[in-house]
């Protein structure tokens, strides 16, 4: 049982995506203190960038909102944004961690009124929307983002204009001279929930992403379909703003491929099925084509595949396309061999979406202590430390939440055992 | 229906790089990458599946593996890193050793009758003679006709100095070493064939 001392212990959760949020909430609601450290300005991770969730096709905003409320209302959870773990010393039950807090240039007094962004004249490519649009150098990811305090780009903070903008803030929340700080904390257990990043599609040369405007990626497509996204949710193609009514999805783009990522990311088949419904729902006269090696509706998602299969305007071609070219009208032309018929095809589309996979953050840049953690050959954490969600394996939200809950339990064990 | 695996096993063991065929996942990238695909009866993917399905005669008598120009497009793209080009050449060679190939198969004829004689006679390829022999393989009339058909290409190659019109005479430096190397290779190959 958690005695008073153990319950006074703190559990550190690194990463504020759906996995980190879950571990934090579960551990705190059981009575433990939690310190949640997120490197980005706002919480939610990749899920915050999704338009809808498979299989229910509801908005991820509500799922996140519930977690944000639980965090807000729980005094046991402290969260730090724009922060990264720099160093961890000690052992289970008794770690000393050094955390670097990067400046937000906006304090918690911010009411989210947006007066600052209205007068800011500097625009930058929006990282939240993968650079598909421009945003102000002082901003919020979107209206539902949490914490709702605005943040300012470091380069902009150095400008004279930033000082002027600070003066107009009615809450007096803007501080362009804010500096980074380093804090030290004692924690009993650490859970890594550093998640994943989309595989860099420019590396897949035969598909011409980065070269052809109308070849995009699945994560960009999530933003394109989102009402908070660059087009307000209109699915149009980047080159000329034409409505994208004939859309192709290429599965395993850079996945299950020894030239790129050798493993299966497990969610991109389902993500494309979900995204096919975005197109079909928006334009009743649209046609969607999915190119695949084999369709992997893992876990209990077979019924979702069956549902999308019922739509006669979604065609399925068993083939990993060999390459993409562009025709005179800017249409990407997908070239390959239909492996069921043996026929060679060259099919033009308005827009091609590359279903790229997940690369782990952990081994590459999350500073998971390498002397303690073991990784598989791709960088997912396999043991030695506690890892939740996609830091441990590429997977969907439901299994991320399961693994995050399990990690909360393991972290509590560590706190109790060594506390 | 029971599968007969004996042909596949033979290919895995005896055809150069043949064991890689096991690794093919039938994705179709090689077929879509091949610039000559329109001229192949079966794509590399299909050929590999035919090997696995035990279609001995269809594979060995097919013209497919004689169509490969070694452009290497498929090799660089295959997600399973199959050395497709080499497997294809291996199958051609295997069909030859199994005596399954039609002697009039054009690529085989060129390789065995023209190319090999040309290169072993002097130690290097002499383009002028090589082209002549190839064109006149089927007699004088056919030769002249082919020559006329290919005139523009030949002139273009001459202009860009890709074709040396003067036949190469004599032998390369170190021709003795070259023939010894060939003899050694033939000896090793015979040993391998006896073993298999
Ligand atoms: C195109 C696409 C569509 C998808 N659609 C669905 C869907 O509809 N339904 C579904 O169930 N799943 C879907 N998924 C899968 C889903 O995105 C993942 O399951 C989910 O993001 C996993 O959450 P996570 O918290 O483990 O990782 P992440 O969402 O990546 O969160 C990790 C967090 O950690 C932070 N972080 C990283 N490194 C550090 C560090 N060093 N220090 C501090 N913080 C750090 C990151 O900034 C991020 O906030 C989809 C995936 C793709 C590719
Ligand atoms: S989930 Fe589908 S698209 Fe993604 S790697 Fe696996 S098989 Fe390929
Ligand atoms: S590209 Fe490779 S794995 Fe794909 S069908 Fe061809 S040989 Fe098989």
pLDDT in tens, B142-156: 999 988 999 998 899
Looking up tokens 């969907």, which residue turns up? A396
Residues A12-31 have a mean pLDDT of 97
Do A218 and A315 lie in one domain? The reply is: yes
Among A307, A341, A356, where does a domain finish?
A356
Among A356, A378, A397, where does a domain finish?
A356
CB of A53 closer than 8 Å to CB of A61: no
Residue A3 has pLDDT above 80, yes or no: no
How many folded domains does chain A comprise? 3
Do A328 and A309 lie in one domain? The reply is: yes
Residue A371 has pLDDT above 90, yes or no: no
DSSP A11: E
Residues B50-75 have a mean pLDDT of 94
Pocket test for ligand 2, best of A268, A297, A301, A308 (most atoms within 8 A of CB): A268
Nearest CA to ligand 1 atom 20: A397
Residue B192 has pLDDT above 90, yes or no: no
Of B30, B32, B46, the CB nearest to A321: B32
Q: How confident is the model at residue A224 (pLDDT cuts 50, 70, 90)?
A: very high
Q: Counting beta carbons within 10 angstroms of the beta carbon of residue A14, is it exposed (0 to 12), middle (13 to 18) or buried (19 or more)?
A: buried
Q: What is the CATH number of the domain that holds A378?
A: 3.50.50.60
pLDDT in tens, B74-91: 999 999 999 999 999 999
Do A92 and A137 lie in one domain? The reply is: no
Q: How confident is the model at residue A6 (pLDDT cuts 50, 70, 90)?
A: low
Pocket test for ligand 2, best of A317, A355, A395 (most atoms within 8 A of CB): A355
Q: Distance from B41 to chain A by nearest Cα, in Å?
A: 10
Among A336, A356, A376, where does a domain finish?
A356
Q: How confident is the model at residue A238 (pLDDT cuts 50, 70, 90)?
A: very high
Do A217 and A233 lie in one domain? The reply is: yes
pLDDT in tens, A145-165: 999 999 999 999 999 999 999
CB of A320 closer than 8 Å to CB of B11: no
Question: Which has the higher per-residue pLDDT, B56 or A373?
Answer: B56
A124 assigned to some structural domain: yes
CB of A135 closer than 8 Å to CB of A153: no
Q: Lowest-confidence range among A224-228, A280-284, B99-103?
A: B99-103
DSSP 3-state percent helix, strand, coil across chain B (nearest 5):
65, 0, 35
User: Atom of ligand 1 at shortest distance to CA of A388?
Assistant: 26
Q: With a 6 A CB cut-off, is A81 part of the ligand 2 pocket?
A: no
pLDDT in tens, B14-42: 999 999 999 999 999 999 999 988 888 99
A108 assigned to some structural domain: no
CB half-sphere exposure, B114, CA atoms < 13 A? 20
> Distance between CA atoms of A35 and A23, rounded to whole angstroms?
11
A109 assigned to some structural domain: no
Do A214 and A274 lie in one domain? The reply is: yes
What is the pLDDT of chain A when averaged over all its residues?
94
CB of B64 closer than 8 Å to CB of B47: yes
A207 → chain B, closest CA residue: B77
Contact call for A342 and B43, based on CB within 8 A: yes
Pairing type for strands A332-337 and A196-198 reads: unpaired
CA of A306 to the centre of ligand 1 (A): 26
Q: With a 6 A CB cut-off, is A296 part of the ligand 2 pocket?
A: yes
pTM of the model: 0.92
Q: How confident is the model at residue A57 (pLDDT cuts 50, 70, 90)?
A: very high
Do A92 and A153 lie in one domain? The reply is: no
Residues A116-121 have a mean pLDDT of 97
Q: Above pLDDT 70, what percent of chain A? A: 97
CB half-sphere exposure, A414, CA atoms < 13 A? 23
pLDDT at A177: 97
Q: Lowest-confidence range among A63-77, A308-322, B123-137?
A: B123-137
Q: With a 6 A CB cut-off, is B44 part of the ligand 3 pocket?
A: yes
Cβ pairs bridging A and B (under 8 Å)? 60
Do A211 and A222 lie in one domain? The reply is: yes
pLDDT at A372: 82
B45 → chain A, closest CA residue: A339
Residues B52-61 have a mean pLDDT of 95
Contact call for B32 and A336, based on CB within 8 A: yes
A175 assigned to some structural domain: no
A1 assigned to some structural domain: no
B38 → chain A, closest CA residue: A344
Whether ipTM exceeds 0.95: no
Q: Does B37 touch chain A (CB under 8 A)?
A: yes
A174 assigned to some structural domain: no
Q: Does B42 touch chain A (CB under 8 A)?
A: yes
Do A376 and A338 lie in one domain? The reply is: no
Do A238 and A321 lie in one domain? The reply is: yes
> Distance between CA atoms of B172 and B178, rounded to whole angstroms?
9
Do A409 and A284 lie in one domain? The reply is: no
What is the pLDDT of chain B when averaged over all its residues?
91
A389 assigned to some structural domain: yes
Of A258, A323, A338, the CB nearest to B79: A258
A236 assigned to some structural domain: yes
CA of A266 to the centre of ligand 2 (A): 5
A261 → chain B, closest CA residue: B79
Do A392 and A337 lie in one domain? The reply is: no
Q: How confident is the model at residue A2 (pLDDT cuts 50, 70, 90)?
A: very low
Q: Could you tell me which of B119, B33, B42 has the C-alpha nearest to residue B75?
A: B33
pLDDT in tens, A329-355: 999 999 999 999 999 999 999 999 999
- The residue segments making up the domain with residue A243 are 200-356
Residue A5 has pLDDT above 80, yes or no: no
Do A270 and A344 lie in one domain? The reply is: yes
Residues A45-57 have a mean pLDDT of 95
């Amino acid at each position: 049982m958690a005695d008073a001392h153990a319950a006074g212990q703190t559990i550190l959760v690194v990463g504020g995506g759906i996995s980190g949020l879950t571990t934090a909430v579960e551990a705190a609601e059981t009575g433990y203190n939690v310190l949640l450290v997120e490197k980005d300005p706002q919480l939610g991770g990749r899920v915050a960038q999704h338009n809808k969730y498979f299989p229910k096709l509801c908005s991820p905003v509500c799922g996140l909102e519930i977690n944000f409320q639980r965090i807000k209302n729980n005094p046991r959870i402290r969260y730090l944004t724009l922060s990264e773990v720099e160093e961890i010393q000690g052992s289970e039950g008794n770690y000393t961690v050094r955390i670097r807090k990067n400046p937000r240039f906006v304090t918690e007094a911010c009411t989210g009124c947006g007066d600052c962004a209205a007068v800011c004249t500097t625009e930058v490519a929006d990282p939240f929307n993968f650079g598909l649009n421009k945003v102000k150098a002082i901003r919020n990811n979107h209206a539902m983002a949490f914490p709702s305090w605005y943040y300012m780009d470091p380069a902009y903070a150095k400008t004279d204009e930033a000082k002027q903008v600070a003066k107009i803030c009615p809450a007096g929340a803007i501080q362009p001279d804010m500096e980074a700080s380093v804090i030290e904390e004692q924690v009993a257990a650490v859970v890594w929930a550093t998640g994943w990043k989309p595989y860099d599609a420019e590396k897949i040369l035969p598909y011409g992403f980065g070269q052809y405007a109308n070849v995009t990626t699945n994560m960009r497509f999530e933003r394109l379909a989102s009402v908070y996204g660059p087009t307000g949710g209109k699915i149009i193609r980047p080159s000329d703003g034409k409505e994208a009514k004939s859309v192709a999805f290429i599965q395993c783009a850079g996945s299950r491929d020894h030239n790129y990522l050798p493993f299966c990311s497990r969610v991109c088949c389902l993500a494309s099925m979900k995204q096919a419904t975005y197109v079909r729902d928006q334009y009743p006269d649209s046609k969607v084509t999915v190119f695949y090696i084999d369709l992997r509706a893992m876990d209990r998602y077979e019924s979702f595949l069956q549902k999308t299969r019922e739509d006669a305007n979604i065609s399925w071609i068993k083939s990993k396309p060999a390459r993409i070219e562009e025709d005179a009208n800017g249409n990407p032309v997908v070239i390959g061999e239909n492996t069921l018929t043996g026929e060679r095809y060259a099919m033009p589309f308005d827009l091609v979406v590359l279903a790229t996979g997940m690369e782990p953050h952990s081994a590459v840049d999350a500073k998971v202590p390498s002397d303690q953690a073991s990784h598989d050959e791709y960088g997912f954490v396999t043991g030695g430390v506690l890892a939740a969600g996609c830091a441990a394996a590429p997977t969907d939200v439901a299994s991320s939440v399961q693994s995050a809950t399990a990690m909360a339990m393991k972290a509590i064990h560590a706190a109790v055992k060594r506390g | 229906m029971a599968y007969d695996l004996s042909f596949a096993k033979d290919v895995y063991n005896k055809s150069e790089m043949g064991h890689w065929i096991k690794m093919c996942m039938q994705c179709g990238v090689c077929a879509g990458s091949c610039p000559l695909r329109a001229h192949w009866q079966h794509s590399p993917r299909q050929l590999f599946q035919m090997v696995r399905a035990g279609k001995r005669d269809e594979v060995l008598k097919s013209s497919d593996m004689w169509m490969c120009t070694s452009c290497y497009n498929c090799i660089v793209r295959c997600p399973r890193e199959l050395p497709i080009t080499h497997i294809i050449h291996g199958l051609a060679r295997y069909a030859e050793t199994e005596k399954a190939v039609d002697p009039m198969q054009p690529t085989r004829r060129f390789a065995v009758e023209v190319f090999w004689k040309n290169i072993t006679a002097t130690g290097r390829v002499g383009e002028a003679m090589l082209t002549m022999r190839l064109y006149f393989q089927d007699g004088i009339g056919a030769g002249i006709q082919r020559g006329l058909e290919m005139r523009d290409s030949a002139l273009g190659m001459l202009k860009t100095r890709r074709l040396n019109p003067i036949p190469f005479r004599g032998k390369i430096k170190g021709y003795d070493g070259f023939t010894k190397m060939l003899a050694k290779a033939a000896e090793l190959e015979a040993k391998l064939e006896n073993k298999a």
